[in-house]
Amino acid sequence: MTNQNYLVWALILALFTQCSAIGSGQNSDELNNTELSSLALLAVASSLPELRGTWRDSNNNTFTVVQGSTTWLALVNNIQFSFSATQTIRSYNNSVRRYFYECTAQTGFGCTVGTFGAVQWTISGSTLAVCEYHSNQASLTAAQAGDTSAVNPSNLTSGCEGFAWSNYTRISF
C-alpha cells in the first residue's frame, strides 16, 4: 500500500466515524473534532518518511531527509571523506524501513548521478542506523530488486553486507 493510500484510508475512517455518530443521533456539532483532527494528523504523519529530519554521527557527518518541492530528498554530507550526495527518494516504506533513490547530485564520490540505489534503516529512540545495500543501479526497478539477505538490522556491527551500519543521532525534525 502506498503512503498516499494510508492517508485516504484514514480520511475514509474519519468520515465513517462522523457518519456513524450522526446516524446514532449524536449532534454533528458535538462530534469530537479533536479525535477527527488526531486521526487526520496521524494519517499525515504515517505518510511521512520515518527518518525525516537531520541526523549527525560522531565525526560530524550529517544525513538529512527533507521534503523538496515535489519529492523527499536524502542529503548526505560526509566531511570526514569529503563527499556529499543528493538522493531523490523515489519510493519508501516505513513498515519495512527501506527507501529507493535516484542520485541527482554529488560532489566527491558520493554517488553517480543518474543511478539508483536502496537503503535500509532502523531507528531506536533518537538513533538512526543506515545501510546502503544496493547502489549504482541503472534503474529504479533494479535497485528495488536488490538482494537483502546480507542486510541484518539486528546486527549493526557487521550486518550491512559484512560492514557496520552508519549510526546517527537526531539533531532536529
Beta strands in the chain (DSSP E): 53-56, 62-67, 72-78, 83-93, 98-107, 116-124, 127-137, 166-172
User: Parallel, antiparallel, or unpaired: how do β-strands 166-172 and 53-56 relate?
Assistant: antiparallel
Mean pLDDT of 12-20: 41
The alpha carbon of 125 is separated from its chain's Cα centroid by a whole number of angstroms, namely 16
Q: Residue 121 — very low, low, confident or very high, per pLDDT cuts 50/70/90?
A: very high
- Whether 115 and 64 map to the same domain: the answer is yes
pLDDT digits (tens, 9 = 90+) for 24-80: 454 444 444 444 333 333 334 457 999 999 999 999 999 999 999 999 999 999 999
Q: Per residue in 19-34, is it b (16+ CB within 10 Å) or e — as a string?
A: eebeeeeeeeeeeeee
Number of domains making up the chain: 2
- Whether 155 and 83 map to the same domain: the answer is yes
| 36 CB-contact burial (10 Å; exposed 0-12 / middle 13-18 / buried 19+) | middle
Within 10 angstroms of residue 168's Cβ, the number of other Cβ atoms is 24
Lowest mean pLDDT among 13-17, 75-79, 114-118, 122-126: 13-17
- Whether 115 and 68 map to the same domain: the answer is yes
- Whether 40 and 57 map to the same domain: the answer is no
- Whether 105 and 149 map to the same domain: the answer is yes
pTM attached to this predicted model: 0.74
Of residues 125, 120, 132, the one with CA closest to residue 169? 125
- Whether 115 and 143 map to the same domain: the answer is yes
- Whether 141 and 73 map to the same domain: the answer is yes
- Whether 57 and 19 map to the same domain: the answer is no
2 pLDDT exceeds 80?
no
Spatial contact of 129 and 156, defined as CB atoms under 8 Å apart? yes
Give the model's pLDDT for residue 46.
Answer: 55
- Whether 76 and 18 map to the same domain: the answer is no
Segments forming the whole domain that contains residue 135: 53-172
- Whether 57 and 41 map to the same domain: the answer is no
93 pLDDT exceeds 60?
yes
pLDDT digits (tens, 9 = 90+) for 141-165: 999 999 999 999 999 999 999 999 9
- Whether 107 and 39 map to the same domain: the answer is no
- Whether 30 and 87 map to the same domain: the answer is no
Give the model's pLDDT for residue 109.
Answer: 85
